[in-house]
Structure 1
Amino acid sequence: MTPSTSSAASASRPLAGAAWILVAAVGFCAAWVFIRLASETIHPFALVFWRNLAGLLLILPIILRDPSIASPRQPTERSSWMS
């Protein structure tokens, strides 16, 4: 890899991060609008079920690709704050 290639790759990463933030913001706004509209006709418990199911279906491929992502990196201990 040449220095110009590595600097170009590292320069595009903040733009990719900003794009992901924009996509997440639009997704949260769209979810809020759809939940608000659906709450007029659908019971709140049903809305929670469908919203959580959609979230599971979105995250499941990521967890199946790399199961270690679902487990903590360091084992937790009973901390001193509990005693």
Structure 2
Amino acid sequence: SSLETIKHMVAAGMGVTVVPRLSVPVEPHPHLAYIPFEEPAPTRRVVLVWRRSFTRYEAIAALRNAIYACPLDGVSLLSS
């Protein structure tokens, strides 16, 4: 179920898959072809949530700040 396992199965000729853009390597792979979707491309929203009773807000803030600090191709932040 890991992305790497799925990529190896596709490279071995065991089918095709859809992977997140962030998992596409910079360097080409000899046995894989990465083909982007045509517009309108599917999207997904990933959110950070926690329980109100969670007492370690500093940990959540540190995680949020680390996410905001990462320049990620194809990612649009909804708020900052």
Q: Which has the larger radius of gyration?
A: 1
**TM > 0.5:** no
**Normalised TM-score (structure 2):** 0.31
**Normalised TM-score (structure 1):** 0.30
